[in-house]
A and B are shown apart, each in its own frame.
Chain A
C-alpha cells in the first residue's frame, strides 16, 4: 500500500503547488505579465501571517483573513504604480523590474526577519490526521487541496459569472476596445494583481504551517508554480491544478526512492512534459 500512500501524499502536495500557481496563472492570463517576484510575494505573505499570529495572538486562519485584504492592497498598488508602467510590446522591462523586485523583497525580509527558519503553528492541527480507508492523511494537506479546489472554482465563477470577470476577459482580449466600452485597463490590471495576491495569502498560510520557511525560499516556489502552469497548459486553471499534482506526485515518488531526489524528480517530470507536450496537457490560450 505504500505506493498508494505516496500517490495520495503527492496529490495533496499538488494542491499546495496549485495554490502557488493560481495567482501566477491569473496575472499572466489577463495581462501577459510573468511576475518573477511571485515566489517572494508568497514568502512575504507568510511573514505577514506570522507577524499577525505572534504579535496579535490571532488564530492563523483568522490572521489569513486579515492578511488577505492587506495583500490585495499591496498587489493593487504594486500593479497600479509600478508594474503597469512596464507593460508593452517589449518583454524586457516587466521581466527585469519583477526580477529586481524579487531581490528587493528577499533582502528586505532578510533585513527585517534574519535568515532564521520560521513556522506558523496551528495548535496541534498540523499533526492531526484522518483515516481514509486504509490510508491515514494529514488534516492540513487535505485542507490545502480543498482550498486549492475552492480557489479555482471561485476564480472560474468570478471569470465567467460576474461583470468584473467580463471586464477581465475583455481587457485580456483587447485592452483598447475594452477602454472604449468604459473599462479602465490600468485599474482592471491592478484589481487582477490584487486578487492574485489575495490567493497568494491563502497559499502562504499552508506554506507557513506545512514546514519551516525563511526569506530565501521564494524563487523555488516560483519555479514550482511556473512548472504547474506550463504542465497544465496556459490559460486553464484546472490544468494548473493537474500540473501541480503532477509535480507533487513526482516529488513524493522521488523522495520515496531517495530523499535527495525529491526536488530533482519534480523538475524532471516538468522537462518530460515539455518534451512530449510542449504546450502543456490542457492548452487553452494561444501564446
Chain B
C-alpha cells in the first residue's frame, strides 16, 4: 500500500488562465463600482444599457445554450417585470428598490403557468409558443387601464424622488435626484450582472450543471444515468424568468415610462439579445460578454442608418450561425485553448507529476 496522502487525486475545473482572470475580474469589478466617481452621466447611462443587456443575454444563453430551450418570448418577463414594478410603485406605493425585487419574484411566478403550457411543446414549437405567451401578456396588460392601457404610463415623480437610497447617493455625490438615480440604477445593474454571471457559473460547475449539459447533448443517455432533464429544464426556465424579470424591472425604473408595445418588444428584448449571444458565442459565459461589446460598437457605428442597422445585424447573425456556430469567443477559444470560465472537470494530482499529465487542456 502506498501512502494515500501523497497520491490524492482531485477533480478540478480551474486552469492557469482562469485563475489569472479571476484576479482581473475582481479588479474590473472594483473599477466598475468606482465608475460613478470617474465618468460622466452619459457614459454611465451607456454602461447601464450594456450591463442590463448583458444580464438578459446571460439569462437567454442559460436557456438556449445550456438547457436547449430556444425562447423567442423572453420579452414576456422583461415586460411583466417592468409592469409589476410599476404596479407596486404607482398603485401599491412601494419603494422602487423593493418593487424591483418583488417584480423579479412576480416574473418567476408568471413562469410557473407558462412553463406548464410551454413544456408541452418541443424544440421549434417551444420557441413560437413562448412568443405566443409574450403576446398574451402584452395584450392582457394593455387592458389594465389603471396603468395606462395601450398607451402606457409614467412612474410618479415623487415615488422615485423620495427613495431613501436615492437621497443617500445624492448627498454622497452632491448631485440632484435625477443624477443620483442614474448612479443608483447603474450600481444595481452592475450588482445584478455580477450576481448573474456568478450564479450561472456556479450552477454550471455544480452537479446539476453537469446534468444539464448531459441532457442537452443527449437526453436519453442523460436520463439513463439518472438525470431528471425535465426538472432541470423547468428550474432553469424559472431562474431565467427571475433574472429577466429583475432586469426588466430595473430597466423600467431607469426609463420611468412604460407602454405595452415597448415593454414587450420582441426586437428590443429578444432579437438584440439573441444576436448578442450568437455573435459572441452561444453556450459559453464569455460569449455574451464578447457579444455585448461587439453589439455596442456596431450600434454606435450604425445608429444613424435606421433599419439598415437591424438588417446588417441579422445578416451578421446568420453568417456567424452558418460559418462559426460557436461565435467569436468559440473561434478564439478553439485557437488558444483559453477559457476564462472553465466548466470542464479535469483530474489532477496523484502520483503522476503535473508536467506528464495527459488529456486536453481547458
Residues of A within 8 A of B (CB): 33-34, 36, 82, 85-86, 91-97, 99-104, 106-108, 110-111, 219-220, 222-223, 226-227, 230, 260, 263-264, 267-268, 270-271, 274-275, 278, 287
A92 to B143, CA, bound (A): 35
Contact call B322/A274, Cβ cutoff below 8 A: no
Decide if B7 is an interface residue (CB 8 Å cutoff): no
Stretch in B133-141, B153-161, B335-343, B349-357 touching the partner: B133-141
- What are 11 A-to-B residue pairs whose CB atoms are below 8 Å? A86-B321, A93-B321, A95-B70, A99-B271, A110-B306, A223-B135, A260-B143, A267-B132, A267-B135, A268-B136, A274-B117
Q: Which residue of A lies closest to B136 (CB)?
A: A267
Contact call A86/B322, Cβ cutoff below 8 A: yes
Given A103-B311, A260-B142, A275-B117, A34:B124 Cβ within 8 A? yes
Seed contacts A34-B124, A100-B317, A227-B132; 6 additional CB < 8 Å A-B pairs? A34-B128, A36-B124, A95-B123, A110-B307, A267-B136, A271-B117
How many of chain B's residues touch chain A, expressed as a range?
A: 35 or more
Residues of B within 8 A of A (CB): 64, 68, 70, 72, 117, 120-125, 127-129, 131-132, 135-136, 139-140, 142-143, 150, 266-267, 271, 274-275, 278, 282, 306-308, 310-311, 313-315, 317-318, 321-322, 325
Contact call A111/B143, Cβ cutoff below 8 A: no
A226 to B130, CA, bound (A): 12
Residues on B with beta carbons closer than 8 Å to the beta carbon of A91: 68, 70, 123-124
Contact call A36/B140, Cβ cutoff below 8 A: no
Residues on A with beta carbons closer than 8 Å to the beta carbon of B274: 96, 99
B134 to chain A, nearest CB (A): 10
Contact call B311/A111, Cβ cutoff below 8 A: yes
Residues on B with beta carbons closer than 8 Å to the beta carbon of A94: 124
Contact call B131/A219, Cβ cutoff below 8 A: yes
Given A97-B321, A104-B311, A267-B139, A278:B131 Cβ within 8 A? no
Contact call A264/B311, Cβ cutoff below 8 A: no
Given A100-B318, A100-B321, A92:B64 Cβ within 8 A? yes
Residues on A with beta carbons closer than 8 Å to the beta carbon of B266: 219
Contact call B136/A226, Cβ cutoff below 8 A: no
Contact call A278/B321, Cβ cutoff below 8 A: no
A85 to B325, CA, bound (A): 12
Q: Which residue of A lies closest to B282 (CB)?
A: A92
A99 to B270, CA, bound (A): 11
Main secondary structure of the interface of A (DSSP, over half): helix
Residues on B with beta carbons closer than 8 Å to the beta carbon of A274: 117, 120-121, 129
Given A96-B278, A107-B314, A219-B266, A36:B127 Cβ within 8 A? yes
A23 to chain B, nearest CB (A): 15
A260 to B138, CA, bound (A): 12
Contact call A226/B117, Cβ cutoff below 8 A: no
Residues on B with beta carbons closer than 8 Å to the beta carbon of A226: 125, 128, 132
- Tell which of B278, B311, B313, B318 touches A108, judged by Cβ atoms closer than 8 Å: B311
Residues on A with beta carbons closer than 8 Å to the beta carbon of B121: 230, 274
Contact call B322/A93, Cβ cutoff below 8 A: yes
Contact call B125/A97, Cβ cutoff below 8 A: no
Q: Which residue of A lies closest to B142 (CB)?
A: A260
Given A264-B139, A271-B117, A275-B117, A95:B314 Cβ within 8 A? no
Residues on B with beta carbons closer than 8 Å to the beta carbon of A86: 321-322
Contact call B117/A264, Cβ cutoff below 8 A: no
A36 to B266, CA, bound (A): 13
- Tell which of B127, B140, B150, B307 touches A95, judged by Cβ atoms closer than 8 Å: B127
A99 to B277, CA, bound (A): 14
A268 to chain B, nearest CB (A): 7
Given A110-B307, A223-B135, A103:B314 Cβ within 8 A? yes
Given A85-B322, A110-B307, A34:B127 Cβ within 8 A? yes
A264 to B136, CA, bound (A): 6
A30 to chain B, nearest CB (A): 14
A219 to B271, CA, bound (A): 12
A189 to B216, CA, bound (A): 27
Q: Which residue of A lies closest to B150 (CB)?
A: A260
Residues on B with beta carbons closer than 8 Å to the beta carbon of A96: 70, 274, 278, 317, 321
